[in-house]
Amino acid sequence: MAAAQSKNQEILDIAKSLKGTPWCEEYERMISGMLYNPLHPTLLEGRHKARCAAYKFNNLDPNAYDFEQVAEVRTKLLGEMLGSVGEGTYIETPFSPDYGCNIIIGKNCFMNFGFTVLDTSLVIIGDRVQMGPNVHIYTAGHETSVLSRIKFVEFGHPIKIEDDCWIGGNVIILPGVTIGRGCTVGAGAVVTKSLPPYSVALGAPAKVVKTIASVEEELADPKNPFRDMPDRV
C-alpha cells in the first residue's frame, strides 16, 4: 500500500475528538496516510509522552494493591494514555503503543500480554474485542524506494477492528486493514487485506476459510448453546 496524496478529512475529524494528540501539519499528514517527517519535534514529543505513560502503566506494582484497586488504577492510566477507551476494557502488561493518543478502543475489550500498536495512523477497535498474547497492529508503512528511507519519510494507514472479534495470539495486522464484525483470526496469522464480517481467517497471508452465523442468526436459533447463558458484563 502506497502513501496517500492528500489529507483524509474523515480521519482528521475523528482525531480532533481524541485526547493528547501532537497536532501539527506533520501530524495531519501522518494520520492521513501521506508521507511525513517522523523527526518533527512535535511528533518526537508525542512519542516521548507515550513512552513515559507506557512505562508507568507497565511498571505498576501489583503488590501495592488488591485486585480491584489494581484494575481501577490501570483503567485510570489507560484512559490517560489512549485517545479514547470504553468502560470495562482491560490490557495486560506489557503494552507498547507508539503514540497512544491515536488508539480508540470500545467497551469490554481484553488484550493479553505483549500487545503492540504502531499507531502512526488511527487504530479503531470496537466493543467486546478480545486478543491473545503478542498481537501486533502496524499502521506504519514505508515505500519500497530506497531513496525514501534515505530521506527518512514514511506514512501510515488506519486500521479498524469491528465489534466482537477474536484475534489469536501472535497475529500481525498490517496498514489499511478493516476486520469486520464477529471475525475470528487464527493464531499466527498475518492480516494483509480486509476481512468481511463473520469470517474465520487463517495463515500468512490470512485467508478466509469459512463464514459463521451472525449474532442475529445465533439469537434466533433455539438450539444455540450460548443463547440462554447469562451476560457476564
Which residues are annotated as catalytic? 142
Q: How many CB atoms lie within 10 A of CB 206?
A: 26
**What sign does the CA torsion over 145, 150, 153, 155 have?**
positive
How many alpha carbons lie under 13 Å from residue 227 in its C-beta half-sphere? 13
Per the CB < 8 A criterion, the answer to whether 43 and 72 are in contact is no
SS3 43: helix
If you write DSSP's letter for every residue of 103-136 in order, what string do you get?
Answer: EEE-SS-EE-TTEEEE-SS-EEE-TT-EE-TT-E
- How far, CA to CA in Å, does 75 sit from each of 18, 68, 69, 167, 179? 17, 11, 10, 22, 25
Cα 89–Cα 95–Cα 115 angle in degrees, nearest 5:
80
